[in-house]
Amino acid sequence: MTKNIGILVGSLRVESYTKKVAKTIATLFPDDYNISFIEIGDLAIYNQDFDDKNTIPDSWETFRDTMKSIDAVLFATPEYNRSVPSVLKNAIDVGSRPYGASIWDTKPAAIVSVSPGAISGFGANHHLRQSLVFLNMPTVQQPEAYIGNVLSILEEDGSITKKETLDFFQTIVNAFIDLIEKNSK
């Protein structure tokens, strides 16, 4: 059966390296996987009053509805100050509420962290992982996807063509697919 994979990218930058990595990874799924990039840049900042008083911004409603049809989530994130960029944390918070209606619950996930630096977004990767544990999302553990020194794998046009890199990305996708299949009801 076709699976819907949602990709959330933690950078809004037009020329985002993380988005370029995510776009390449998106091409490596089998044909019966339907991949969509989910917009998170327009989500109103989380404010619990909106849920408590039922004055939910349209952007939240659209996001929560869209995520209901998503079977599994790939998070591609840069690292901001050794943690998760606020735009991505905001999307996680918006999706997690109202209490008891989290759109994340039981959905398989994979995390890819990306950085021009050598530490490879480790801090963002693991802070995000901490939230996903609480949100009850089974998450790929191996291979760990720390994409450091990202400029060394990007061609001038933003594509990624090195065979070694694509082979590694494929192992990430394969592990994610295994996890999704194991968690299929």
Binding region for ligand FNR (CB under 6 A): 11, 13, 16-18, 78-82, 114-117, 119, 121
| Cβ closest to ligand FNR, residue 7 vs residue 114 | 114
For residue 153, the minimal CB distance to ligand FNR (Å) is 13
E strands, 38-94, in order: 72-77
Residue with tokens 């996890």: 179
| Cβ closest to ligand FNR, residue 81 vs residue 152 | 81
C-alpha to C-alpha distance for 155 and 158, rounded to whole angstroms = 5
C-alpha to C-alpha distance for 165 and 153, rounded to whole angstroms = 7
For residue 37, the minimal CB distance to ligand FNR (Å) is 13
**Helices 58-68, 86-96: crossing angle, 10 deg rounding:** 70
139 closest CA partner among 170, 180, 99: 180
For residue 21, the minimal CB distance to ligand FNR (Å) is 8
Q: Using alpha carbons only, what angle is made at residue 109 by residues 107 and 110, rounded to the nearest 5 degrees?
A: 175
| Cβ closest to ligand FNR, residue 91 vs residue 177 | 91
For residue 82, the minimal CB distance to ligand FNR (Å) is 4
| Cβ closest to ligand FNR, residue 17 vs residue 75 | 17
